[in-house]
Structure 1
């Protein structure tokens, strides 16, 4: 089982690595779903994880709230992406939507272009898409060489055992063309059951390893 641990800043990273984390998603402010960390945190984390040969995914999100960004916010996100590139970050996670619940293709194209050389993850903005736009978005992301989609399968307020059927639908539709990475409510107690039910090998969460963020 490949376990991606979502962490807030650097504090728990050495412990997560020692307990078997396979990949780290680096955030600030997990209380709002994660935002971009400071440059100092990013530098030290990247250096530490490169020495341990553990890939790092940096959250690129300038604020909490919705995923509808104006031009200035997109510019900030681009600057963060260029910085990540410089530091050798392995992957970046972001998502941009329009007011009517569709993917913001123009913003996403700009952000993907600024992510050259890094894997791209479309994060849980996916769950804020209108349901009828989800399959088309999966196709669009595949066409633009995005590596993974992080999804809870529904609103985070809904327990994951009630959204597994939705996640399975996305996995079946993606048909191995892109990785669908489930998250939100997955922990070390239920991850094996969820992986078996969805027939997946990767899980994401703050508590997928016992003793981390408990």
Structure 2
């Protein structure tokens, strides 16, 4: 089981790796769901994780709030993505939506072009796509070679255990074309139950290592 640990500063990195983190999602401001970290935090984290053979997935998100971004914000994301790629991140975590509850295809295609050579995770913005569009979104993201989708399977205020049927539907529908990465409320305590119920090989959380 690969345990991806979400951290918002370097201080925690050595400890979570020592406790079994197999991959790091690096972001700032977890209170708003994560934003892009500073140059210094990114540089030190990437260097340290590379020395431990641990991959880093860096958040590309200019602010909290919704996932509908202005032209200026997309430009910020492009600059941050290029910068983090130069620093040596293994991958990026991003997601853009439009005001119809669907993927902002133009923004995503632009960012995915810049992310070539990196792993890409579409973050929990996925859970803000209209439910009736989500299976089509899996198709779109798989077609555009996104590596994984981070999803809670429902509203963030719902326990993940309540969302297992929906998550299983995503996994079955994806059929190996793209990884469905469950997250949001997975801890080292409930991970065995969630992993067995979904038959997954990787999971995401802030408290996923004991």
* 1:21 equivalent in alignment to 2:21: yes
Name the residue aligned to 2:73: 73
- 1:32-181 to 2 correspondence within 5 Å? 32-181=32-181
Provide TM-score, normalisation by structure 2: 0.99
Task: Write the distance in 2 (CA, Å) between the matches of 1:203 and 1:143.
Answer: 22
Give ranges in structure 2 of 5+ residues lacking alignment. Answer: none
**Aligned-partner SS, 1:121:** strand
Could you tell me how far 1:85 is from its partner in structure 2?
1.2
Runs of 4 or more, structure 1, over 2 Å off, are: none
Indicate if the aligned counterparts of 1:127 and 1:154 stay in contact, CA closer than 8 A: yes
Indicate if the aligned counterparts of 1:85 and 1:117 stay in contact, CA closer than 8 A: no
Could you tell me how far 1:131 is from its partner in structure 2?
0.5
| Deviation sequence 1:50-81 (CA, Å, 0-9, x none) | 11110000011000000000110000000011
**Aligned-partner SS, 1:117:** coil
Could you tell me how far 1:92 is from its partner in structure 2?
0.3
Indicate if the aligned counterparts of 1:90 and 1:118 stay in contact, CA closer than 8 A: yes
Could you tell me how far 1:114 is from its partner in structure 2?
1.1
Task: Write the distance in 2 (CA, Å) between the matches of 1:185 and 1:165.
Answer: 16
Task: Write the distance in 2 (CA, Å) between the matches of 1:192 and 1:83.
Answer: 37
Could you tell me how far 1:84 is from its partner in structure 2?
1.4
* 1:204 equivalent in alignment to 2:204: yes
Could you tell me how far 1:116 is from its partner in structure 2?
1.5
| Deviation sequence 1:169-190 (CA, Å, 0-9, x none) | 0000000110000000000000
Name the residue aligned to 2:5: 5
Give ranges in structure 1 of 5+ residues lacking alignment. Answer: none
Could you tell me how far 1:209 is from its partner in structure 2?
0.5
Task: Write the distance in 1 (CA, Å) between the matches of 2:181 and 2:87.
Answer: 25
